[in-house]
Amino acid sequence: MASRLLHRLRHALAGDNPGEAATGPEAEQFPESSELEDDDAEGLSSRLSGTLSFTSAEDEEEEDDEDDGEVGPDPLPSGDGASGEDADGSSPPDGQRGSQPLARQLQDFWKKSRNTLVPQRLLFEVTSANVVKDPPSKYVLYTLAVMGPGPPDRQPAQISRRYSDFERLHRNLQRQFRGPMAAISFPRKRLRRNFTAETIARRSRAFEQFLSHLQAVPELRRAPDLQDFFVLPELRRAQSLTCTGLYHEALALWANAWQLQTQLGTPLGPDRPLLTLAGLAVCHQELENPGEARACCERALQLLGDKNPHPLLAPFLEAHVRLSWRLGLDKRQTEARLQALQEAGLTPTPPPSLKELLIKEELD
């Protein structure tokens, strides 16, 4: 069965240029077939004509497992961002695929496409999948690297999600975007063999393609539910750790959340980037990194600009003044702006601190 499917795929993919189709033993070296054998053909996940397909004989059965319901910011001066895109034609030759680092492949593609008008999408790669036993539940936690344009030595942003998180995203997007979502398939639930290496590997590839297809459609890429899927869990965990005083752990999560927002772009508004910068500034202050904290405040003030007073404007100004004084830097302009707000009655004297507002903020 698998051989016939692969044979059809090879002919379909070579249809536009049959003269170059391989013959003989080399024709059997089809990139997508590495995990499929004649006796191991439970599922085939491939990208054909822009549509993600995931078909399986056993997938026809429904299962109850894992149904547990649960202006883009620029990088900071110190730069935490990292990552890339998945686009047709960007892959290196087959012989290099196993040895060439993924980041280097992405860099080669971006250099070639730098002068084109094609938007540079992100690349998603499942780097690990772990079975988690949390009685009475048991599930697989998939860790994905989110990679976009940037220096190849930068570490990519990461998220960890379970099957139910992907399923909820798929269900919500289907309700809101019936047309665009009709061409995007999703791996079905299974009644058994959910924790085998084969099932986890196939789902990992399917999740990578699923997110890549969503990012390729502008209407879906800007969907609030997709933004929430990537960023909201990270912000909630970072806020919780900050409130409990675990600043070192929280700092890593705030930095990851900032990097995700930088790469995803099209935020719902300035509030989440500003909240992320507030978290970074608070953690840097508590960890005695005044220079980094001041840089976060400056970036936030740039995002705020000269617009109507935002609840975080005065706290950022106050933190910037204090940090500038501590570092021996000029604070007159920021001090004058804060004083003007206070004289106009737009903020109390003294204004609330960033930490106070961060603890009170409700993330939904």
Residue 133 shares a structural domain with residue 172: yes
Residue 278 shares a structural domain with residue 155: no
The token duo for 347 is 């903020």
Residue 257 shares a structural domain with residue 205: no
Q: Which domain holds residue 252?
A: 232-363
Q: Are 192 and 62 in contact (CB under 8 A)?
A: no
Among 222, 240, 255, identify where a domain stops: 222
Q: Could you tell me which residue, 304 or 2, shows the higher pLDDT?
A: 304
Among 156, 190, 222, identify where a domain stops: 222
Within a domain: residue 50? Answer: no
Within a domain: residue 243? Answer: yes
Residue 345 shares a structural domain with residue 238: yes
Residue 204 shares a structural domain with residue 307: no
**pLDDT of amino acid 264:** 85
Q: Kindly report, residue by residue over 139-171, the tens digit of the pLDDT.
A: 999 999 998 876 666 788 999 999 999 999 999
Q: Kindly report, residue by residue over 291-347, the tens digit of the pLDDT.
A: 999 999 999 999 998 766 889 999 999 999 999 999 999 999 999 999 999 998 888
Which of 364, 155, 158, 353 is closest to 272 using CA atoms?
364
Which of 292, 298, 337 is closest to 314 using CA atoms?
337
Q: Kindly report, residue by residue over 229-286, the tens digit of the pLDDT.
A: 999 999 999 999 999 999 999 999 999 999 999 888 766 677 899 999 999 999 999 9
Within a domain: residue 98? Answer: no
Among 222, 252, 280, identify where a domain stops: 222
Q: Could you tell me which residue, 213 or 24, shows the higher pLDDT?
A: 213
Q: What is the CATH number of the domain that holds 355?
A: 1.25.40.10
Question: What string of DSSP letters covers 303-357?
Answer: HHTTSSPPTTHHHHHHHHHHHHHHHT---HHHHHHHHHHHHTTSS-SSPPPHHHH
Within a domain: residue 13? Answer: no
Within a domain: residue 57? Answer: no
pTM: 0.69
**pLDDT of amino acid 152:** 65
**Cα(99)–Cα(121) distance, rounded to whole angstroms?**
23
User: Residue written as tokens 């109850």?
Assistant: 64
Q: Kindly report, residue by residue over 59-69, the tens digit of the pLDDT.
A: 333 344 444 43
Give me Rg for the CA atoms of the chain: 24
Residue 354 shares a structural domain with residue 267: yes
Residue 252 shares a structural domain with residue 336: yes
Lowest-pLDDT range of 54-58, 146-150, 199-203, 355-359 = 54-58
Residue 242 shares a structural domain with residue 356: yes
Residue 185 shares a structural domain with residue 255: no
**Cα(81)–Cα(147) distance, rounded to whole angstroms?**
9
The token duo for 132 is 């988690």
Bridge partners for 145 per DSSP: 125, 158
Within a domain: residue 23? Answer: no
Residue 261 shares a structural domain with residue 287: yes
Burial of residue 143, with CB atoms counted within 10 A of its CB: 0-12 exposed, 13-18 middle, 19 or more buried: middle
Within a domain: residue 6? Answer: no
Tally the domains of the chain: 2
Q: What is the CATH number of the domain that holds 185?
A: 3.30.1520.10
Within a domain: residue 65? Answer: no
Residue 135 shares a structural domain with residue 250: no
**pLDDT of amino acid 115:** 41
Residue 203 shares a structural domain with residue 266: no
Q: Kindly report, residue by residue over 168-223, the tens digit of the pLDDT.
A: 999 999 999 999 999 898 998 877 788 899 999 999 999 999 999 999 999 999 89
**Cα(54)–Cα(123) distance, rounded to whole angstroms?**
19
- pLDDT surpassing 50 at residue 100: no
